Amino acid sequence: MTALRKTTIILSLRNLTYLLAALSVVVLFSIWNQNRQLSKFSDSLWRFKGNLFNIFYSTVLFNTNNSSIIDFQSNGDKQTAFLSIEDHARITNESHTAARPLLCTSCFLHNYGYVLNNDGICDLKNSVDSIRIIILIFSTHANTDRRKALRESWLLPYRHNQDNIRYAFLLGMTSNPSLQGRLETESALYKDIVQENFLDSYHNLTIKTVMALKWVITHCNHAKFMMKTDDDMYVNTESLKIALQQHGIQLLRSVGGHCWLKGRPQRQRSSKWYASYRMYPQKIYPGFCSGTGYVTSISMAKKLFDVTPHVPFFHLEDVYVGLCLYALGLSVTHIRGFNLGRIPLGCVYKSNTLITSHELELHHLLYVWHLKCKKKHTG
């Protein structure tokens, strides 16, 4: 009787195994049959995870309308930013199941307030009656030493923002109170920091770009040109002036730098510049300039800012500027001397042939700045 009972149990377990196997086949077939939908869902989750913290951080307190009011102090003036989950979903393009359109109607609104705003950077001082160039440098909170090295190298002649070239470091927010405190101290000391209340991250460089356009047309619209660059760049401001003399007319209706007339999206997830078909369904990017450094006129900056609400968010900021140009029916201007990589250190940095060099370490910046070249290097 015991043996029979054991056999019955074994058979029951075996039948259960068969049943589970059969159910698994059904489930797998169902998954296979719905693979396309699941793939889309997976892709949405993959893109959403990069913004989850940003949405959480920027919407700290909610009311019944899913909106939050965050108050910040800036130079004694209270800045209030109205943020909502819906706004951030629209900005990051994560709430849409359809592919990203080239144009929209007021779908990308820059509803951010200043945390730090040294709005006197472009004041006319010491008999300087005009500003030729405002240089906007993208930085992050941890890069205190980088900003210091720039102030002690190619920014040194303009360190007090009293010449015809002015500059500002642009940042978003950090979740680290210690870093934020250090930044506020630095801002009080140098008065060259501008900060808005979006999370500072690689994915949000496009938001920082719109911030740059907004700030320059609001607080420095009497300048003639603006330049955007990064805090790991060396900029030869003397050769930059020459380039602006040569290309100034074109830059009234263009953006100039190291530019391409078209480009292909990277479809490999492992790429730093990955863009899925939903994020960018078109096969070709219109003309754009490398975000390492580009220039344009202030009048062109206003045109770009005015069109940004109607050009859906795209996470690659240099491509996004190109998409704004495309929406305006305009294109880019390639200017020799803007370099993507690091040019070998030497007196070429003092020449008229180099405008920018990329990925310089702190000691590189100081080394090339203090180079003593016997005669003007031309190439």
Residue 218 has pLDDT above 60, yes or no: yes
Q: What is the pLDDT of residue 128?
A: 75
Distance CA(137)–CA(121), nearest Å, equals 13
Q: What is the pLDDT of residue 358?
A: 97
Q: What is the pLDDT of residue 15?
A: 54
Mean pLDDT of the chain: 81
Calculate mean pLDDT across residues 116-141. 92
Distance CA(170)–CA(208), nearest Å, equals 7
Confidence of residue 125 (pLDDT cuts 50, 70, 90): confident
Q: Is 168:151 a contact under the CB 8 Å cutoff?
A: no
> What pTM was estimated for this model as a whole?
0.76
Encoding tokens for residue 328? 């305006």
Confidence of residue 127 (pLDDT cuts 50, 70, 90): low
Task: Give the DSSP letter string of 169-224.
Answer: EEEEE-S-HHHHHHHHHHHHHH--EEEEEEE--GGGHHHHHHHHHHHHHHH-TTEE
Could you count the other beta carbons within 10 Å of the beta carbon of residue 86? Answer: 12
Residue 82 has pLDDT above 50, yes or no: no
* List of domains in the chain: 68-335 (3.90.550)
Distance CA(147)–CA(362), nearest Å, equals 9
Q: Left (φ > 0), alpha (ψ -120 to 50) or beta: where does 338 sit?
A: beta
Distance CA(241)–CA(239), nearest Å, equals 5
Calculate mean pLDDT across residues 23-45. 44
By residue count, the chain amounts to 379
The string of pLDDT tens digits covering residues 224-254 is 999 999 999 999 999 999 999 999 999 999 9
The string of pLDDT tens digits covering residues 154-191 is 999 998 999 999 999 999 999 999 999 999 999 999 99
Encoding tokens for residue 192? 């060259």
Residue 284 has pLDDT above 90, yes or no: yes
Q: First and final CA of the chain: distance in angstroms?
A: 99
Residue 106 buriedness (CB in 10 A; 0-12 / 13-18 / 19+): exposed
Residue 31 has pLDDT above 90, yes or no: no
Q: Is 126:230 a contact under the CB 8 Å cutoff?
A: no
% of the chain beyond a pLDDT of 90: 70
Q: What is the pLDDT of residue 60?
A: 28
Q: Which residue has the higher pLDDT, 142 or 125?
A: 142
